Each structure stands twice: as C-alpha cells, then as structure tokens.
Amino acid sequence: MSAPDRTPPANAPVLAVENLQVAFRAGGREHLAVQGLDLSVSRGEVVGLVGESGSGKSVTGLALMGLIDAPGRVAGGRIVFEGRDLMGLSEAELRRLRGARMAMIFQDPMTTLNPVLRVETQIVEAITAHERVSAKAARARAREALVRVGIPAPDERLGAYPHQLSGGMRQRIAIAIALLHRPALLIADEPTTALDVTIQAQILAEAQDLCAEMGTALIWITHDLAVVSGLADRLLVMYAGRVVEAGPVAEVVEAPLHPYSAGLIGSAPSRNKRGARLAQIPGLAPPLGRRPPGCAFAPRCFNVRPDCSEPPPLVRRSGREALCRYPLSETVVA
C-alpha cells in the first residue's frame, strides 16, 4: 500500500486554525485566555490581529508557534500548517519548523538577539541550524540578509553587538533572521511599538514588501488600528479571548459591526480629528478569570441591552462576522 499523499491542495491556506482554546491555571483552576478562535491565512496574505492588552492576541501568536509554556496549555482546537496538524507534532518536529517554515518577530528584538554574541554569529547560527552550508556561504547569506532589510554598512553591523545598535536596527536584524529561510508563515507581535513613527513606517513597508516578494503569509499582531489598516488585507478584532469581528480591513474600519471595533476606531488618532479630544472606551478589559457571563464587552458597551447578559450569537454579513446580539448596521466613524 502506498503512503498517503500529505501535500495540501494548491489553493489551501498556509495556516488554518479551528476552535483554538488556550488555558492558564491560576487559583487552582483553569481559565481560557483564548476561546474558540478560527483563523486562516493564505500565501502572500496579511491578516491583522488587533485588540487591547489582555485581549489574547499575543497568546494566540505564541500558541500558533507552539510556544505556550506552563502554567498555560493549548486546551483544544486544530492548528493546521501546510497540511500538517501541529497539535500532533513532537517538540523536535516543531523546532524543525520554527525558524524555517514558520517564524515570529517579537516586540522586543532582544527576545531574539543574544546580547553577548556578535550579529554575524547569531545570523550564521540561524542559517546553519536548518541548512548545511559552508562558513563562507553562511557569512555571505548573513550579509545579504542585512542588505535586504535596509541596514547600511552591513559588514560593520555584522561585527557589532546588539547593544551597539539602535532599536530600529536591532528590529531590522530580528526581521532579517526571521526571513532567512523564506518562511511560509511570519507572525509579527507588535514589532514596531517601541520605535519612533518614522522608523516604524519604514519597517512596516519593508516587512510588507519582503513578505509580498517571498509569498509569505503574515499575521500582524497589534493594538494600533492605524498601523494595521494600512498593512492588512483582513482584520480580526479580539476582546477578552474571543474574535468579536472579522472581515476585510477596509470594510471593518469604515463600517464596524461590533461596538468594540467602533470604539477602537473612534479612539484612534486621524487627520480629521486634529486638535479634538479623542474618544475613549470607558472602563477596562476584564482580567482572566473575571470575565462576565454573556457578552464580555457589555459592561463597557454604548449599545448594551438587557439581554446582552446572554451569550452573543455569531452574525454573518457579506463575508464578515461579528459576535454581537445587536451589531451596528450603519456605523459612521468620525
């Protein structure tokens, strides 16, 4: 009997996530930090994952990479990457995928970079961990990687230690390392938050161009709607561990269905709000273990009704979804 063909169809998504559940143990019981998340991303597509701190977006990114440590665990669901269910892989098999077929960029580049090793050493190690190449070829690849992400004087930077470089340059190096093996999937977790606006814009453009050139699927995790609205094709809005709205980014930004999405958009700076006081969402997101029954956003919602204490239904409209009993039908955001 021949072995089954595990090659995914040509039109299959690079990543398909179904009903993802991520739990953390605290106070003698488990609490779900991510609940029922569905997500797919295709080759060359950019998906934005947006929400406030505590929404579960970063936990989602770590779960997709198989990086949830105790007291957390992936408690359920499926994560299918290039036709393989990652939930069934050993740690050794996951390590072979990470850094090669799938990669992640973190908010702090020092999560990726070792402060006591020169840049060249770190990039060469990242190359030889997945490929058998000569030292000369690896160094040439390292130099080429720095040139690709727009680092000037690459030979000088290869000989530097991370602390001798600016924050923007360190983040570019982290991006260069992540893209070394032309991964099928790149997850970027707030990689430009700590940088000034000019450097942020440059790195956003570079990451977008490189992923488009390589056909890499990109998941961009952020709290900043202004960033993701100019970058992503589709948008997923997370609140209290759930995706509360999903759809094409332009449609979500122009006419959000969920009141939380409308609140995020209304509180974001824009040119036509210059000099005006920004709107804000009252209250705070509920901490893990203290989420209210029914709709978790109800205590902060401007559109709340008495029956929002019941679990909200999933509403579908023209390729969009919202987890809301009373979705906004004609929203105009100033």
| Structural domain includes residue 279 | no
| Structural domain includes residue 133 | no
| Structural domain includes residue 214 | yes
User: Cβ contacts of residue 147 below 8 Å, gap of 6+?
Assistant: 154
CATH code, domain carrying 20 = 3.40.50.300
Q: How far is CA 19 from the centre of its chain?
A: 17
d(CA 111, CA 36): 29
- Report pLDDT for 69: 92
pTM of the model: 0.90
Q: Residue 209: which domain range?
A: 15-114+184-232
Q: Rounded to 5 degrees, what angle do the CA atoms 213, 215, 221 make?
A: 100
pLDDT above 70 for 4: no
Q: How far is CA 42 from the centre of its chain?
A: 14
User: Cβ contacts of residue 192 below 8 Å, gap of 6+?
Assistant: 171, 199, 200, 203, 204, 227
d(CA 116, CA 132): 25
| Structural domain includes residue 44 | yes
Write down the mean pLDDT value for the chain. Answer: 90
| Structural domain includes residue 130 | no
Q: How many CB atoms lie within 10 A of CB 288?
A: 17
For the chain, the domain total comes to 1
pLDDT cut 70: percent of the chain above it: 93
| Structural domain includes residue 172 | no
Q: What is the pLDDT of residues 271-308, one digit of tens each?
A: 666 666 777 899 999 999 889 889 999 999 999 999 99
Q: What is the pLDDT of residues 156-171, one digit of tens each?
A: 999 999 999 998 899 9
- Report pLDDT for 256: 95
In the beta sheet, which residues pair with residue 84? 81
| Structural domain includes residue 97 | yes
Could you tell me which of 315, 282, 316 has the C-alpha nearest to residue 297?
282
More confident residue, 12 or 16: 16
| Structural domain includes residue 225 | yes
d(CA 15, CA 84): 9
Q: How many CB atoms lie within 10 A of CB 304?
A: 16
